[in-house]
Structure 1
């Protein structure tokens, strides 16, 4: 009996008392539920028909295309092609403070586009890096990255905080880090997580792009087996997408003061370390930024986020981008796990894009405002 793990991402994180979210093939569901009852294991069916939910989203998309709403709709999920077209469009319509560039190519030779936001009149400015879509199936991530850019452009004149951020900082936004995997989650397998690289020995494709970084690589919380969802890859930075981002961050590490990565799902705001329970040297500063961020987030719709070090708040994992950023001198490194806590999981409905993004904006602004202070 094979089950797909949604939370936690690896079987190594499952111990007695762990709450798990799994998806199972319809033809084996009765057998598994009977086993749960026999062993007195508590369970709850969150999504009764996963296929139906996936088809509902795709059916809605095709009817939406026929309606052809004028302008870009930020309250729906977009394919990679649509997102990349949108990035180029933003570059041409808001050239005063949006600049698009590529930091390399993916395994399947797609461009790795990054948007640079900020007023260009100052030579040397501190910077913030934001990435989304490191895991292909977490569609709310890329939706948030696009929302962030929209807010930056639309509220620059009316919002003093946004104006201050864009005047004093450079903000790099990478809406889809794992471009090949994201494309594949649209065309072939909605629940695909990894990249799409091909190893020589196994038929299984892809590497977990958040276990492939050169920091305590391939230890606890990562798998050395190519067929696993948390496969760490044949060597650190084996994935061209990871290598390109690592090279860019390393090159600009003196000016980048914050690294923010957006994932789903769990409603958590995490900071280093992921790979050890040790406390980071600037714990007080980072903890207060995280605490204030989740309070700000909750003020929008009352949604509660847990915050804390990733290892003790979520689980231990090695080779993560957040730990790598912190170890390479970026003092504020955070990973957001956006909505929800499992009711929809990776299939968060489009109706929840707006509230999720609106509340997350408050948290991101709170963290970036911390950079304006001397606290490092």
Structure 2
């Protein structure tokens, strides 16, 4: 009888953890709202603040403007009233997601055992313990090309690692820095970094451009920066965005991509610690940001490119987010990015926009890592917003991981081709040059003999 009672208690605890401790989204809807006038846009801003609504697009209420789509999650308790208010104000809207909870992944129940590198599935979302294990196995089995390095720690004192990928060299090498997982709920970003590492390891010997790049460039790849927040989306609140810093009893989390020293917290960011775009107490106030800044400061003179991956929106964004003034290398950056989006379209016929952040998104933000990278002298700095355009938003289904990663890998490889062409020594070019020099020498010798 005692065993039976203990079994009932254990079952009750498990049910409680699954049904009570996690934030639930049954009946929540995501609405696509398009204010047509300035008054309607202002009304939406006020409603967003009053009801503390979860804006998916734009990221802050400052970006709500006439004619621009607003994607917003509305809790079940407010859905009907929201629709009535929109109708009263004659603001057009459509239901984008009818029931958010139905799109929440049940993947947490599938990850009960340790898995090997050979059976690792890159087409599903993985919890953090599996990603840690995957990183360790990559480091062990590909030690000729890959080194796992310690970047720093999170607010909750979890280790942040990155991969250094490249062939050993006696010469000083350039660096391309890539990161994923700034925003906790953007799971497809984290999936991409894992996919990309897999692709590098599988193709580097057969791809002459990639082979040449890895001889002269080290790739620094941070598979996930916001580890605390990511774990929180698996265990407590799937749509959590920020890190897990505690500022007071009611305020938790900083938007890490508003925490960099690039016109920090001047526009498109909030000093309100309850906001999704809270910029922190000062630039690089968070240990995750500090760790990244520390690494970059040591190697910034060697960094050729910085690529940061997010979702959603299907865009490749250039600096800046806080001003319409283009960066000094804007034209070169546009050339590389335009090539990339053309190749992406060839892969799955999917359209990606490209251009300066504030112009493409049509609202301003400050403190982003992309702008900061440009301002400290990194020539090529891009923010990738991966799939989709809003059908699923942050709930991108697992069946779209593969095509998303394939087209994004195509874009990155196209940029590598551009870098290889413009900045790296190319063995084929060197051989051709040598042959031309020999031919020219022969011609000069013949001319000398014939004229003397």
- Assess if the C-alpha contact under 8 Å between 1:97 and 1:118 holds in 2: yes
Shift of 1:16: 2.1
- The separation in 2 between residues aligned to 1:295 and 1:364, in whole angstroms, is 12
Task: Indicate yes or no: 2:245 matched with 1:182.
Answer: no
Q: Deviations over 1:286-336 (max 9, x none)?
A: 110111110011110100000000011112110100011111111000000
Matches within 5 A, 1:60-209: 60-63=107-110, 71-200=119-248, 203-209=250-256
Q: Pick closer, same or farther for the CA change 1:61–1:110 going to 2, 3 Å.
A: closer
Which residue number in structure 1 is paired with residue 342 of structure 2? 295
- Assess if the C-alpha contact under 8 Å between 1:285 and 1:375 holds in 2: no
Shift of 1:157: 2.0
- What runs of 5+ residues in structure 2 fail to find an aligned partner? 1-50, 425-452
SS of alignment partner, residue 252 of structure 1: helix
Q: 2:306 aligns with which of 246, 251, 259?
A: 259
Shift of 1:66: 8.0
Q: 1:8 aligns with which of 34, 41, 58?
A: 58
- The separation in 2 between residues aligned to 1:118 and 1:67, in whole angstroms, is 28
Higher mean displacement: 36-45 or 147-156: 36-45
- Assess if the C-alpha contact under 8 Å between 2:114 and 2:130 holds in 1: no
- Assess if the C-alpha contact under 8 Å between 1:259 and 1:334 holds in 2: yes
Which residue number in structure 2 is paired with residue 341 of structure 1? 389
Task: Indicate yes or no: 2:93 matched with 1:43.
Answer: yes
Structure with more helix by fraction: 2
- The separation in 1 between residues aligned to 2:168 and 2:286, in whole angstroms, is 32
Q: Structure 2 length normalisation: TM-score?
A: 0.79
Task: Indicate yes or no: 2:291 matched with 1:244.
Answer: yes
- The separation in 2 between residues aligned to 1:309 and 1:65, in whole angstroms, is 43
Which residue number in structure 2 is paired with residue 280 of structure 1? 327
- Assess if the C-alpha contact under 8 Å between 2:320 and 2:357 holds in 1: yes
Q: Deviations over 1:161-208 (max 9, x none)?
A: 3222222210010011111111111111111111111124x5210111
- The separation in 2 between residues aligned to 1:68 and 1:94, in whole angstroms, is 17
Q: Pick closer, same or farther for the CA change 1:204–1:83 going to 2, 3 Å.
A: same
SS of alignment partner, residue 130 of structure 1: strand
Which residue number in structure 2 is paired with residue 19 of structure 1? 69
Q: Which has the higher contact order (CA 8 A, sep 6+)?
A: 1
Shift of 1:61: 4.7
- Assess if the C-alpha contact under 8 Å between 2:209 and 2:420 holds in 1: no
- The separation in 1 between residues aligned to 2:135 and 2:423, in whole angstroms, is 33
Shift of 1:63: 4.5
Which residue number in structure 1 is paired with residue 277 of structure 2? 230
- What runs of 5+ residues in structure 1 fail to find an aligned partner? none
Q: Pick closer, same or farther for the CA change 1:68–1:326 going to 2, 3 Å.
A: closer
Larger Rg over CA atoms? 2
Higher mean displacement: 169-178 or 1-10: 1-10
What RMSD in Å do the two structures reach over aligned CA positions?
Answer: 1.8
Shift of 1:64: 6.8
Aligned residues: 372
Higher mean displacement: 43-52 or 258-267: 43-52
- Assess if the C-alpha contact under 8 Å between 1:180 and 1:196 holds in 2: yes
Q: Pick closer, same or farther for the CA change 1:92–1:231 going to 2, 3 Å.
A: same
Shift of 1:47: 1.1
